[in-house]
Structure 1
Amino acid sequence: MNDDARAKQNARAPIPGKQDPENVNKEPAPHSVGAAPHRKLKADLVIIGAGSGGLSAAAGAAMLGLKVVLFEKGEMGGDCLNSGCVPSKALISAAKYAAAAREGIDYGITTGTPVTDWQKVKAHIRKAIDTIAPVDSQERFEGLGVTVIREHAKFSDQNIINSPSATVKARRVVIATGSRPAIPPVPGLSVAEYLTNETIFDIETLPTHLIILGGGPIGMEMAQAFRRLGSEVTVIEMSRVLSASDEDHAAVAADTLRSEGVEILEGYKAASVSQDDGTVVLEAEGDDGKKIVRGSHILVAAGRQPVLDGLDLEAGNVAYDKTGIQVSQTLRSVSNKHVWALGDVAGFGQFTHLAGWQASVLVRRAFFKQGSKSNSLPLPAVTYTVPEVAQVGMTEAAAREEYGDKIETSSFAFDENDRAIAEGKTKGECKLIIHKGKLVGASIVGEGAGDIIQLAGYAMSNGMKLTSLTNFISPYPTRTEVVKRAASAHFQDAVFGKPARTLVGLLQRIL
């Protein structure tokens, strides 16, 4: 088990028995903190932010017997639990049931037109959050020996952190404050009642027409989910949707959304937003001219920005820019040796799993003095549309930009996979990107792509040869076989070409 998985498991472990009172300092509820005396503490590790990276680091350090102080002014669990990964995937799950009811007739099942009960959908989302919340709770981490202080924290010196009720001198400080939605400077948007991922899951009624600014993973996932639940949806994207994904595979997902009734305007920029008697009016400009889109709600999904405000980074001599804390691939601050950054605020990517991996890098480097780096493993990414779009390592375009015509690709289509055929889910493809016989990237679009991509990611992370993806028995029928078949296709000429046939002909003369 690797360190990030171990840290997460430790975070999920049952609450230990009675703790040493010197290691556990329960904080009163935030509204009563002001009555408590100001404390002066010392810690091996101070963490600002209780999202994925901060919690994983806190759990790992605490399990090693270190004194850990964790500051969090908002909800434990951060964006992923409360307004990101968990609620969005719960919403997508509900939308899949609506789609299944419509598609059942293709399989001989007649159910009728689905009707969305938005309040029950919200209850399903809330149940998912509430079920996972104890794993990330203050009580759980106090049980692990972490001092949790539910207040805003800031620097007063290079290794001194202040909050309203405490001053902590730390040997190391981890900034894991995450990111928030970036709001583009569209005229009229600032006064419109726009939604973000932080607010859309709490709206009172299902949108009749949802306008989405941004065709990245969040925008596309929400577009399909709300369309399936019964909303009209229009996506406005300045370039192409899912621009970080393989272009061909992103097009498969976009075409699917269009076939389900989502309007996608690629190459359009939001020029202005206004409200007319409760209706959102958006004017978009593109190569084909201007378009006016009217909707009931508008969702901003146009990227994210690191949360840095209020930290007094100058007092801590912590260098930063618009992308986040300036750190090396070791995740250590370039200006303050006491400070590290994890997750979105570190500037290397906005993924929960990346933050978890970076927590393991911190544990390895800071506590075990090992040489792990943030970029030492290929990074996977998944967009949870139907079909899913998954990527690990380099895209074909990025690989060709770096290596030119030395890049080879090998693909296998889902419509040749027996499991996909049996289930009627044949839209998709596995593409392997190869440089000098080495796998440098993989992209998959199709049902379950996020699960399938892990086979390629495992091979890449462990330095395996491409032949390793052919040298195992894949159970039949499974979709993951597409990875083996794509790898096998790369060697087809070598195995079955003229030289091989000539060799086999000679060998057949030997009894």
Structure 2
Amino acid sequence: MADILKPDLCIIGAGSSGLAAAEAARALGARVVVIERARMGGDGLNAGGVPTRALAAAGRTAHTMRTAARFGLAEREPHVDIAAVNARVRSVVAGIAPEVARERLAALGVEVIAAEARFLDRRTVGAGEKLVRARRFIIATGSRPTIPAIPGLADVPFLTTETIFHLTERPRRLAIVGGTSAGLEIAQAYRRLGAPVVVIDAGRALAEIDPELTSVALTALRTQGVDIREQTRITEIVGGEGGAIGVRVAGAEGQPQTLEASHLLIASDRHANIDGLDLAKAGIRIDPRDASRLRLSAGLRTSNRRFYAIGDATGGSQSTHAARYQAQSLVRRVLLGPPARYQPSLVPRVVWTDPELAEVGLTEPQVRARRGTAYRVTRLSLAEVDRASAQGEGRGVARMITDPSGRILGVGIAGPQAGELISLFALALANRLSARDLAGFVAPYPALGEIAQRLGQEHLRSADTDPWQARRLALNRLLP
């Protein structure tokens, strides 16, 4: 007879969101069961941000060696051993893995079941030889790469963002399908490591990011030799002699052509890992507008009141920090009841290219839709920031959107360490700060944090003159 577990919370999936939810629940004293069928840590650790950043670090080092003359140093063409680079990437992942190991969760008091979860009815999940009847369930099953329906793709070998880190040789020419953040981050890294790279996207690369910011990164990548083909549709993929791959494309203008590649990487969108859960048995409905997504309320609850979803399983923002925020916001509400609002606009959006792109808050189209013309955009060129110029990274822009009172609605940065700087603006948004608050804090000099202070000062400088301030100045002129 199967064991029946009755915890306060059952979490299906031990990726970033599932692990964050488990730790948050244990901190509240809840009894927690986690079900994971594969690797602990999910995509963020094993095939996402961690390995991509480790690969990019190797590429950045090679680029610095190759372009050292801009700092007055002798240039040197690096010897690149892709097998060694990817071995180092995997060692970084292995070094972090103990932080998310089953043993660590067990030490926290979490019971981990290594099995595949299936819903048996509206309140029971089966996992191996055990049944789980929790008071509440969280679906945190993550996502996997979407393989596009391209004629001929199934007949040639291809890589995904989960297998690219196992290459042992440098591609003679790498073709990447998808101008996503992951696609462009990997494209830049491999180009800096000496491989010719072409990126193909049927629409606009980095379509989710403000075009003014995107243009900064795309210009840099193209300058470094990445061939980025936007508005270009792949019509067919064909195999050739010696393992060569031909990618036949048709652009918005011009004649169709065939791009030759030795390796093909699929870096298009991802979709939620919800297949095989037997959702219908639990009374969990699919989004009628998108069969790859769950139907969720604004509070991330499914059509079954006992079940919630977080992370990539929601089909929404696919970042580790967003998943952790969802987990922490949801767990307290699910277990204790007091309202805890999940506010997506407070979650930074980052593209880890060089230069980095980062946004937080509302975008200009969103503000325009809500407020019409009742907003202001303040811009700052990074060429005016001394630290950026000293580092040879003065190409970039920071832009801040405010309402008529000066309250910050959204911020975007394209430039060095944008992913770090955006945290300051995320804090400002969470606390409903204004441009005047930014102008009034003290930033060290020379530091990139000065960008926040300068944006606030520029906003005040370009604002309409306060009539009371003008009167006070006139009065002071009459005083001795």
Report whether the alignment pairs 1:325 with 2:289. Answer: no
Out of 291, 312, 319, the residue aligned to residue 351 of structure 1 is: 319
Is 2:51 the partner of 1:82?
Answer: no
Q: Relative to structure 2, which stretch is displaced further, 236-245 or 440-449? A: 236-245
Q: Which is further off, 485-494 or 469-478?
A: 485-494
| Distance (whole Å) between structure 2 residues aligned to residue 398 and residue 270 of structure 1 | 31
Separation (CA, whole Å) in 1 of partners of 2:253 and 2:473: 60
Number of the residue aligned with 2:104: 140
1:159-207, Cα deviation, whole Å (9 max, x unpaired): 1110222111111111000111111111111222111111110122121
Q: Which residue of 2 aligns with 1:4?
A: none
Q: Which of 146, 160, 171 does residue 182 from structure 1 map onto?
A: 146
**What are the within-5 Å matches in structure 2 for residues 199-214 of structure 1?**
199-214=163-178
2:126 aligns with one of 159, 162, 179: 162
2:417 alignment counterpart? 448
* 1:282 maps to amino acid: V
Change (3 A) 1:376 1:229: closer
User: Quick one: structure 1 residues 292 and 398, their matched pair in 2 at CA, closer, same or farther if it must change by over 3 Å?
Assistant: farther
What residue ranges of structure 1 are gaps of 5+ in the alignment?
Answer: 1-36
Aligned-pair CA distance for 1:381: 0.8
1:121-270 alignment runs, 5 A limit: 121-270=85-234
CA distance, structure 2, for counterparts of residue 420 and residue 376 of structure 1: 30
C-alpha contact 1:208 1:230 (8 A) present in aligned 2:
no
Distance in 2 of aligned mates of 1:480 and 1:249: 18
Q: What's the offset of the Cα at 1:496? A: 6.9
Does residue 286 (structure 1) correspond to residue 255 (structure 2)? The answer is no
Corresponding letter in the other structure for 1:470: A
Give the AA of the match of 2:441: F
How does the TM-score come out when normalised to structure 1?
Answer: 0.90
The answer to whether 1:463 aligns with 2:427 is: no
Report how far residue 43 of structure 1 moved: 1.5
Q: Is the 8 A contact 1:343 1:349 kept in 2?
A: yes
Identity %: 37
Residues 490 and 215 (structure 1 numbering): CA distance in 2 closer, same or farther, change over 3 Å? same
- 1:467-495 per-position Cα deviation (integer Å, ceiling 9, x unaligned): 11111111101112112111211111458
What amino acid does structure 2 have at the position aligned with 1:58?
A: A
**Structure 1 residues 112 and 494, CA, compared in 2 at 3 Å: closer, same or farther?**
closer
User: What residue number does 2:359 align with?
Assistant: 391
Partner of 1:404: 372
The 2-side partners of 1:426 and 1:63 are apart by 44
Q: Is this contact kept in 1: 2:385–2:448, CA < 8 A?
A: yes
Distance 2:292 2:318 in 1: 11
Give the drift of 1:56: 0.8
Matched, 1:426 2:394: yes
> 1:450: how far off?
0.7
User: Is residue 329–residue 373 contact of structure 1 (8 Å, CA) maintained in 2?
Assistant: no
Partner SS, residue 470 of structure 1: helix
CA change 1:191–1:415 in 2 (3 A) is: same
Partner of 2:134, secondary structure, is strand
Check conservation: 2:161, 2:267, Cα contact below 8 A: yes
Q: Aligned partners of 1:411 and 1:323: how far apart in 2?
A: 39
- Aligned partner of 1:57 in structure 2 is 21
Task: Give 1:275 shift.
Answer: 1.1
The answer to whether the Cα contact below 8 Å between 1:332 and 1:340 also exists between their aligned partners in 2 is yes
In structure 2, what is the equivalent of residue 308 of structure 1? 274
1:47 aligns to what SS in structure 2?
A: strand
1:411 partner letter: R
What's the RMSD between the two structures over aligned residues? 1.7
Bigger Cα displacement from structure 2, 344-353 vs 148-157 = 344-353
Provide closer, same or farther for how the CA distance between residues 494 and 88 of structure 1 changes in structure 2, counting only shifts above 3 A: closer
Contact 1:444–1:453 (CA<8 Å) still a contact in 2?
yes
How does the TM-score come out when normalised to structure 2?
A: 0.95
Whether 2:16 is the aligned partner of 1:48: answer no
Shift of 1:310: 0.9
Partner of 2:445: 476
Partner of 1:510: 479
Q: Secondary structure at the match of 1:79?
A: helix
In structure 2, the residue matched to 1:297 is 263
Residues 245 and 262, structure 2, Cα contact 8 Å, conserved in 1? yes
C-alpha contact 2:159 2:266 (8 A) present in aligned 1: yes
Aligned-partner SS, 1:370: coil
CA distance in 1, matches of 2:229, 2:195: 17
How far has the Cα of 1:238 moved from its partner?
1.3
Contact 1:413 1:482 in 2 (8 A): no
CA distance in 2, matches of 1:214, 1:70: 34
**1:374 alignment partner in structure 2:** 342
